[in-house]
A and B are shown apart, each in its own frame.
Chain A
Amino acid sequence: MFQVHVRTRINGDDTEFSCEADETLLDALRDRLGLTGAKEGCGTGDCGACSVLVDGRLVCACLMLGAEAEGCDIETVEGMADGSKLHPLQQKFLDHAALQCGVCTPGFLVAAKSLLERNDNPTEEEVRYWLAGNLCRCTGYDKIVRAVLDTAADMRKASKPKPAKAKKASAKGRVSA
């Protein structure tokens, strides 16, 4: 088997790895780099548990070769929190109990982050369609969808210039910003 040497940026850090030519990006992330956040639910593009961003585009890491990552900018769930400070989506998933076993959660978080970067005011239908490639066998989806919509609402509030009645707006018990 041919080994390929790959230079990428992962969560902002220049990273190099060697992998086999037919090895998926998911296997390279998990087995070579120890980034086990992305999960293998199916390995065939159906479940979204392996979702990562490649050059800003949401993809299944199981449907991409490690070799294809050469020169790419990759974001995984490990890059979402800022140290011990959770990303707003992560916090909202906790607040809404949007996870049980947690296997699908990294994929949902990465996919939802990519949606909110493109659209900070999605409808429920838009959220459901965007996340249709992420399967969850535990939660029944509702809590996940609500967590995403709630995060979007908070992010919109936070990005608006503070109105005169700023005190009232911020009194709404936001756990994180």
Chain B
Amino acid sequence: MEYFAPASTKEAVKLLGTAKGKVHVMAGGTDLLVRMKGGYTEPDAIVDIKRIAALRKIVRAGKGWRIGAAVSAAEMGEDKALKKAWPGVVEAANLIGSTQVQGRATIAGNLCNASPAADSVPAMAAVGAKAVIAGAKGTRKVAVEKLVKGPGKTTLKKSEFVESIELPEKKKRMGDAYLRFIPRTEMDIAVVGVGICLTLDAKGKCMAARVALGAVGPTVIISAKAAKALVGTTVDDAALDALARACAAEAKPIDDKRGTKEFRKHIAGVLARRAAIIARDRAKENS
């Protein structure tokens, strides 16, 4: 195996395009090294993107945010302004693994690893995050939920990699939240995860909502029905009940040792309800 640590995006794209055999981008390495250790992947080359200075930064992009693909979850948690703007996304990133894992893991890596249970993905999808993809022909942007094709599979082409994640401008009366269920209090894989972002009008009525369900399908599920249950309401009990029913209906989980189908569907509803309350209250605070 060869190890490359390019200093620029251009160089990284070139390496990805020309390196022979199986090439892996490495950000935090917290998924990649575990998979290598387990013999699930044997790369011929690793392209470490942490030496690309621009990818180590969180910057304002217009009124929104650009989080470099090499920024660790811990660094996101330490950025007070980002945390204030999109607490749901930052909290989701800060749920990934332990303090040690946090010090390395990235949200771009969480996305590109394409695990159905990735914690930051429903949170990013709920706020409408986009992945900025660098490739031989320049950069393109896609909605994060469009990047993942199925478990372990992305739509990235050979010389492409995710350079950064863009979060939109946080407008007035918007709020986001992410909650997951795990059997322990820390260090576990989500049985269900729910990300919600909503916008209230001046009277406290929900104008727009996005609901993203994780770990209950091969990829994140953006539920239009669940969003519809909230829009036009004050996110009161009746709306929350409708939301919970919609999420339970939209969830398409599998049965496994971590939870049965029925349990996962039920929990999707319960978490959606709780996440919607947090998002609503955050939207009110932000008016």
The 8 A CB mask of B1-31 against A (1 = contact, 0 = none) is 1110100000000000000000000001110
Residue-wise, chain B 90-120 has the 8 Å CB interface mask toward A (1 for contact) of: 0000000111110110000000000000000
List CB contacts (< 8 Å) of A13-54 with chain B.
20-22, 24, 43-46, 48, 51, 54
Q: Does A59 contact B (CB under 8 A)?
A: yes
Most buried by A among B5, B28, B103: B103
A65 to B74, CA, bound (A): 19
Look across to chain B and name the residue whose beta carbon is closest to the beta carbon of A60.
B100
Other-chain residue from A20, A51, A63, A67 in contact with B5 (beta carbon distance below 8 A): A67
* Residues 34-59 of B contacting A (Cβ, < 8 Å): 34, 36-38, 43, 46, 48, 50
Bound together, the chains give a CA A2 to CA B2 distance in angstroms of 6
Contacts of A57 in B (CB 8 A): 72, 74, 103
CA distance A174 to B205 in the complex (A): 60
Q: Are A68 and B48 touching (Cβ within 8 A)?
A: yes
Give the dominant DSSP class at B's interface.
Answer: loop
In the complex, A166 Cα to B71 Cα: how many Å? 46
In residues 102-157 of chain A, which contact B (Cβ within 8 Å)?
111, 114-115, 129-134
Instruction: Let me know if B98 and A1 touch, CB within 8 A.
Output: no
Tell me the A residues contacting B by CB distance below 8 Å. Answer: 1-2, 4, 20-22, 24, 43-46, 48, 51, 54, 57-60, 62-65, 67-68, 70, 111, 114-115, 129-134
- Chain B: residues with CB nearer than 8 A to chain A? 1-3, 5, 28-30, 33-34, 36-38, 43, 46, 48, 50, 72, 74, 97-101, 103-104, 185-187
The 9 closest A-B pairs by CB, nearest first: A133-B98, A132-B186, A21-B3, A57-B103, A67-B3, A22-B1, A60-B100, A59-B103, A44-B34
Q: 16 pairs across A/B with beta carbons < 8 Å?
A: A4-B3, A22-B3, A22-B43, A44-B34, A45-B34, A51-B100, A59-B100, A60-B100, A63-B33, A63-B100, A65-B33, A67-B48, A111-B99, A114-B99, A133-B99, A133-B187
